[in-house]
Structure 1
Amino acid sequence: MAAQQFLETQCHEFDAYLNFDEYGLKPYYGLTTFRKEHDWVNNGKPSTTFEFDGQEWAAVLDYDDQPILPWSDPSYKLETAYLYRVYVVCMDETYDDESADSSQRVKGGTFTVYPRWPDMKKRDDETGEISKVNGYMDLGRPYLTVRAQASNIDFADYVDLTAEAFAAFDVPRRYFSNPHGSSNVNDAAVYVRPKQDVSGPIYAADGPIARIHQLLESDRSGYRKHVEDNRERPGDHVTTMVDSERAAKLIPGHKIGKEVKHYYMRNPDNYNPDQFGWHPKLEVSFQSSITDETIYWDREDALDIEQCQREIEEMLMNILDWAGLDVTGGDEYHEDAYFDPERRSRRSLKLVDCPLPEIESEQENAVMRLWGDMNGSDRAVTEMLLTDGGEISPKDAAEKTGYSYRTIRRVVDRLEGFVRHTYGKLEVESDFAAQEMLKRVRSAEEQFRRTIGATAMQVAEDASGFESGPFSRFKNSYEVGVRDTDERSRKLLQVRYTPTDRDEALEIAREAVTSYQQQYDDELGISGIWIKFEYADGSTERFRLTDVFQLSKARADTSRSRGDRPLDRTRQKLLEERENLPRRMKSRNALGD
């Protein structure tokens, strides 16, 4: 991956939770002091201006009630727990001369301050009932969360801009200079603005956005969404999403779920071709809802904003490249207030050959092989699903095809990966697979009338060179959920499969270790990851993967020294491992969820 000249993308929407714990609640008390000293009745909301990055900014302070009860700690002297907001807007050429809280804030946004402390409580306004506050990180000490929501600001500038915004209301900058490691990113987007007359290949039916959705909607545990709205004009709003399970299929090494979007601003016909509003945007954004891992602000041991920005920029550049546009900028792009097509820099972004034709070819071949191996009942069920569609139960399928219920169940088992059986209905797994199969079942494509959900075509997965990684397959096999936890454990694997006993749980835990290291080629990556099981009697137990790895490694070394097979799985060895497993594992349930 050599460095080369690339067009500079423009940072667009951004949403992050920045936690500041170094000074506890001192900045919150500072805002409270400013609020009390201001004459809100006669002077309205306090407003001011400040300098940042060589430009003038306007700012307004506001506050709201919230149902949070004041902290019961003796050090907390306030009878309230207000939520504060600072609105900021850059007073550049896009500024509409409105107060910062009323402005469109084309370049600007909102910084919302949430006070935090251990064991927070809230009161329901209607019932008066007091309950715990959920959804925040309890650091065991007081701190502030600043939610930064803004646009058209370089991602790297947000911490400094936060400090300047609050300094405008007499809160020292140092209070907001060092975000805690738990600070995380919820949304981040970059864009370029291709000219209208060259952007067609991006959103075309055979272009990269449409084909990404069509060819990659193939993982049962994944998420896909594709929208095409061409009612006003071609390419008016065309978007597709790729979750983290599929990110690496498009660009090796990628881990972050993304949305790729080609769209126009409102009423582009009000502009002429010489104005930016006539031309669309191509945007790639990070999507937290379809990303397995948390994106932190600045962490060496996890994904952070730096890697996030690199991935979304690489995705955008590859989309441009696959559509035949120049990734160095120039005449194929139109400038706006923040995007400059002549602004480029030398950096190391990964460009890959478009994988979509190869994925399509592999899926076609897989369908052809499947069709060739089908018997009469297989073909009957396939034809019925393709032409009837909808939610068809195995019983209905038996009635429609004339085969017995038992035969239908055997067909479903044989066609696993093409036909899916969930919640009492049969479905075809993917649009592309259905279309390819339909060519062989019906020559008239207009008879293809189905309303089935698009998910996976696992048979194409198994036949292609773009297989799901070992850890992804492990998660699917044992119905494993992944979530971030407290500081004590970076990540928790929650296994929904119920093992028969502790020995089987340990076998599964070892498989988790092996598959994770194989997929990510990282022996140390399991540090801080735990795996949790629930047994048939309702009891739970969780193990730290590093302990499981060290135990397995020690056992393998001992087996090799004895001349045994490294992976001997006899009952005696399992019993020995159970006895030798560090006792601290058994007490981990006290940690809770």
Structure 2
Amino acid sequence: MSDEFAFLDKATPIHSDSDDPVRSKINQHEADESRSAVGTTGADQFVSETSAIPLRDGVVSQCRYCQERFRTDTDDENHSCPKQPVASCRYCKEEHFSRDAADNHLYHCEPFRRARAKEHKQQRVHAMHGQGDPQPGRFIDPWYHELRAYVKYDCSDKPSPLKSYSGFSDLQKEHDFEQYGNLQLEMRGDFNGIKSDDLTVEFGFKGSGIAPSEDPDFKLEEVREYQIYIYPGEYEDYSEAADNGRQRAHFLIRPRWPGIASESGSEIPNPHDITGFDIEFTGSNIPFTTYPELLHSAVTRLKGRQGFRWEGPTYLRPNDFHPENIHKSSNIVDAELYVRVKKEYTRRVYAIDGTLHRISLLLSDERRGYTKSIRDDRECPGYYHTATIGPDRISEMIPGHEWPREHKHYHVKHPKAIEGGPLNQPKISVSLQSSLVAKTPKWSQLDILERELDEALLNVLKWSDIPIRQDNQVYVEDDYFKATASQRFRKLLHGQLPRIETMQDREVKQLVVAGTTTETDVQLLETLLTDGGNHSPASLAEKIDCALSTVYKSIDRLGELVNHRYNDVQLTSQYIAQQIVRHLDAVKQSINTDLETAVDELVRAEEFADPQGADPWSLWLQNWVENIRENTDGPDELILGFEPADVSEARRIIREGAGKWAQVTGKDRVDFGHEFVPVVQTRSGEVWSPSQWNFLPGLAGFKSRYLPV
């Protein structure tokens, strides 16, 4: 059979095989970079796996990133490759091999900073607020309050790794503690954030309960813990400086070696078997990063005091306490940042409907995890208010945050005794609550922790309508906090708490209008509302006398209203609990009616709304309105089920509803005032119920229609 395409063999080619006109038009540099990173040229992309990888007997596959080989498909599926990138920055193309690295990268990415700064100058940053990216700006600088950390110094690779401990012992013997008390020396130096003209370094010791080391080079019969105190020189001792709220640092120094045990024989934790020191840092009003520098300088100063009583002591080695020797297992257990604000500006922070109360209410589960709220106004308004949130919900407040924290508004212990001075103004602060989480931040993560605290504090100020820029009319300087601002990238969210509240409102309202709620759902909700303790699906089935499978179906129907994990079922938040109490009667009634009737009893929207409730007006009604009260001689009353913070917020919500109504009906927004007037009660109990002609002027289009030009 002849080849019908044989005549093409005599044709002259326009391009050679080596000059592919299609390939030459394609920019391949990004693909080539990716292939180079994983060790391939791209030529094997369409070669079968068997031919591309020379496999040995028993090997079924191989990881393309780390080249590890697998003998079973299960091993291949379970392989988590540390060399496989999980993300790549779209600004600088840097690859990241962990989620933490990807999340934190933008704070240090120069191409991102330049791009975002350009967008900020062009006034387009506002379009990206709330999306989780850090924003540039000059923000008020908080000051450093409390710090507590356990910092380990590893001397294992040094000759005589516990030489400095013997040096502390010799220094102790050179000083007469019984006659003179603790050893006190002056120290001067240039320390970040420290008034260093006159500092006192105080040296002392106490018993440790540690058994001596069995190492023959360890010649001490009694093991002691040594203490270094640093505080301003005008005070007699550390306690006096603490009572006056002065800058201060305390270092409790404990020796560590492999196999360390107490005098009773019990093992003392030393998980990394370091030989060196475990030092507890505590202090106040000092920048967090300054503590290691202070310790190193204090040990250097104490070394200069050795050799006065006898020759040839074992000298301290200050470089054993150099910041470079800090071990990776060092961790932070308490850290706090604060600003001081004039009290006339802070009511929205601590009020019953204020930011702290809403944080506690909206971000705390009904029974899961940990939440605590304290309100104490005995000394003065806003005397001591806190909202503590555990790790389960902290990322809902600010996406990407990891560590639990406590938000505070508080005054000094006796505010009436210092009327007129800066200390009479309250502090607004945020602090780490490490007791609520098993994995505390490492000392190497100090910059990330400080940034999380800073962002949390700035957002609370913003949500409380307190300026986050430098403002000497709002902020009050004290001996340490200065009302200064600095340029930095911080994640600022606009109205995050109201968004959480709206989302939870929507879930509750859905109970009423969905028409799918069953009697089992109501019984389950009533049980979660009224019974204390935790509930498993099995215990709920027993309480409401139904099958376990029925309970599981009910949990699925209730969706975001309940949390079900680890065999524990509970309401999502205290706010949802309150809302369910308000709407439960309506839910019960909706069970006995069809969907159309249930919706009609909640809202009167038949004239304008989509029957399926999917148009913007119907969705707005579902989210915000509890009832529409019909009037025969005037506009119907639109009764909000949501309690806004104030009338200003109520006006905003109603104007939004007027816009949705106009969008669906095709009428002007001002016509909304001829159909409805609002009835709103704020959280403080104020009722806003304007008449028709008091309400109309606030709607768009009123001036052009009713006022003369």
Tell me, in whole angstroms, the C-alpha distance in 2 between the residues paired with 1:181 and 1:162: 18
- Matches of residues 77-96 of structure 1 in structure 2 within 5 Å? 77-91=219-233
Alignment of 1:410 with 2:555, yes or no, is no
Equivalent residue number for residue 178 of structure 2? 41
Aligned to 1:315: 456
Q: Which residue of 2 aligns with 1:286?
A: 432
Aligned-residue offset at 1:396 = 11
Q: What is the CA–CA distance in structure 1 between the aligned matches of 2:517 and 2:162, rounded to whole Å? A: 68
What is the TM-score of this pair, normalised by structure 1? 0.65
**Local SS of the residue matching 1:169:** helix
2:362 aligned counterpart, secondary structure: helix
Q: Supply the RMSD in Å over aligned alpha carbons.
A: 3.0
**Of 328, 344, 351, which aligns to 1:204?**
351
Alpha-carbon deviation of 1:168? 2.8
Within 5 Å, give how 1:124-139 maps onto structure 2. Answer: 124=264, 130-134=265-269, 136-139=270-273
Change (3 A) 1:7 1:398: closer
Alignment counterpart, residue 162 of structure 2, candidates 18, 21, 25: 25
Q: Note the C-alpha offset of 1:224.
A: 2.0
Aligned position for 1:16: 149
Contact 1:115 1:145 in 2 (8 A): yes
d(CA) in 2 for partners of 1:440 and 1:111?
56
Give 2:321's aligned residue: 176
User: Structure 2 counterpart of 1:314, which letter?
Assistant: E
Q: What's 2:298 paired with?
A: 165
Asked if 1:438 corresponds to 2:576, the answer is: no
Q: Report Cα offsets for 1:220-276 as digits up to 9, x if no partner.
A: 76432222223333322211123333333222222222211111111111122x312
Distance 1:229 1:413 in 2: 43
Give the whole-Å Cα distance in 1 for the aligned partners of 2:469 and 2:574: 35
Tell me what 1:60 maps to. Answer: 202
Task: Identify the structure with bigger relative contact order (alpha carbons < 8 Å, sequence gap 6+).
Answer: 1
Q: Is the 8 A contact 2:163 2:317 kept in 1?
A: no
Other-structure match for 1:232: 379
Cα deviation code 1:274-294 (max 9, x no counterpart): 312211101111222234643
For residue 491 of structure 2, what is the amino acid of its counterpart?
K
| Superposition deviation, residue 326 in structure 1 | 1.0
Within-5 A mapping of 1:212-291: 212-218=359-365, 222-272=369-419, 274-291=420-437
Instruction: Measure how far apart 1:391 and its partner are.
Output: 5.4
**CA distance 1:353–1:172, shift in 2 (3 Å):** same
Partner of residue 474, structure 2: 332
1:133-152 alignment runs, 5 A limit: 133-134=268-269, 136-139=270-273, 141-152=274-285
* Contact 2:507 2:561 (8 Å CA) reproduced: no
Identity of aligned residues (%): 30
Distance 1:86 1:438, change over 3 A: same
Larger-Rg structure: 2
* Aligned partners of 1:56 and 1:90 also within 8 Å: yes
Preserved CA contact (<8 Å) 1:60 1:101: no
Deviation at 1:433, TM superposition (A): 1.2
Q: Give 3-state SS (helix, strand or coil) of 1:336's partner.
A: coil
User: Residues of 2 paired with 1:223 and 1:123: CA distance?
Assistant: 37
For the Cα contact (< 8 Å) 1:58–1:100, is it kept in 2? no
Measured in 1, the distance between the counterparts of 2:336 and 2:521 equals: 46
The one-letter code of the counterpart of 2:574 is D
Q: Distance in 2 between matches of 1:399 and 1:123?
A: 53
Shift of 1:103: 3.9
Contact 2:151 2:278 in 1 (8 A): yes
Structure-2 separation of matches of 1:396 and 1:252: 34
CA distance in structure 1 between the partners assigned to 2:542 and 2:450 by the alignment:
54
Separation in structure 2 between the aligned mates of residue 296 and residue 396 of structure 1, nearest angstrom: 40
**Aligned-partner residue type, residue 147 of structure 1:** E
Deviates more, 1:263-272 or 1:40-49: 40-49
Q: Quick one: distance in 1 between partners of 2:549 and 2:573?
A: 20
Structure 2 counterpart of 1:68, one-letter code: I
Aligned with 2:173: secondary structure? Answer: helix
Q: Deviations over 1:451-502 (max 9, x none)?
A: xxxxxxxxxxxxxxxxxxxxxxxxxxxxxxxxxxxxxxxxxxxxxxxxxxxx
Aligned partner of residue 406 in structure 1, secondary structure: coil
Contact kept in structure 2, 1:194 and 1:333, CA below 8 Å: yes
Q: 1:442 to 1:270 in 2, by over 3 A?
A: farther
Unaligned runs of 5+ in 2: 1-133, 191-195, 304-315, 587-709
TM-score for the superposition, normalised by structure 2: 0.55
The change in CA–CA distance for 1:307 and 1:422 in structure 2 (over 3 A counts) is: closer
Residue type at the aligned position of 1:99: D
